[in-house]
Amino acid sequence: DRQALVDTILLGQGRPATHGYPHPDSPWTNPVNVAAFDIARARMLLDEAGLRDRDGDGIREFADGRKLELTLNVAATEPAQIRAAELVARQLRAVGVGITVRSLDPTVITSLFASRNFDLYITEIGPHGAADPDQFVESQRSGYLWKSGLAYPEMDALVRGYAAAPTKESRRAVLFRMQTLFNARPTSLALYYPDERWAFRPGPFNGWVESPGFGIVQKWSFLPPAARQGVMTTDLRK
């Protein structure tokens, strides 16, 4: 329930990640990919996968009796992330997934990511990773969203199609298919996007423009006005 996370952790000052990984405001985000909150469907999918609470203790088991228990790691220096981990664990337990939250030193979290020796962990990424279409593509095969060297022919074919697309619209269509594949096999579950606020003195610089889902700290803000034509941005001075 991403909206519940926004209401509790951000006091409503944010957006739930309802479309998967990319920011819902980005023009490069597939509007059809809606990650709905549905406890009944979650329970049904777990049942269909053969994961059932066979001993009645509230935690599902595999067919061989192993418990569906995972560890969710979070940096001990990030109170908002710790609270998010607690709430996520509570929601997952409601459908029979056992979750243990473990707070660790940030350097340990970094080492876990490098080794991939973890079940789950919470981290954050800047708007560049969530709203820039090229960055989303690069993240698939760079070792960030998919382990380097692990075969993924379906994604590779889409990456090749993205690079070869001759127009912006055809490239967007390939990207939308890539996001659909990613949502079907998610290696990352986006939770929410905090609202951003910016303060600036117009005297030193007044050329800021906002890119939907991205913010103002990006290359378009620093290009000459003529070079911004055709860019999907909002001039903050208006």
Digitized pLDDT (tens) for each residue of the chain, 238 residues in all = 999 999 999 999 999 998 988 888 888 899 999 888 999 999 999 999 999 999 999 999 999 999 999 999 999 999 999 999 999 999 999 999 999 999 999 999 888 888 888 999 998 887 777 778 888 898 888 888 888 888 999 999 999 999 999 999 999 999 999 999 999 989 999 999 998 888 889 999 988 888 888 888 888 888 887 777 656 544 444 4
What pLDDT score was predicted for residue 238? 40
Looking at residue 46, what is its pLDDT?
96
Alpha-carbon torsion, ordered 144, 150, 151, 153, to 10 deg: 0
Identify the sign of the CA torsion 40, 45, 51, 54.
Answer: positive
- Rounded CA gap, 172 and 152, in Å? 21
3-state class (DSSP) for residue 9: helix
- pLDDT at 113 (0 to 100): 82
Residue type at 88?
V
d(CA 12, CA 195): 9
Q: In the 8-state DSSP scheme, what is residue 61?
A: B
Per-residue confidence (pLDDT) for residue 223, from 0 to 100? 85
Q: How many CA atoms lie within 13 A of 149 on its CB side?
A: 1
CA distance 167 to 138: 19
Q: How far apart are CA 26 and CA 33, in angstroms?
A: 13
Identify whether the C-beta of residue 124 lies closer than 8 Å to the C-beta of residue 80.
no
Rounded CA gap, 20 and 199, in Å?
Answer: 29
pTM of the predicted structure, to 2 decimals: 0.85
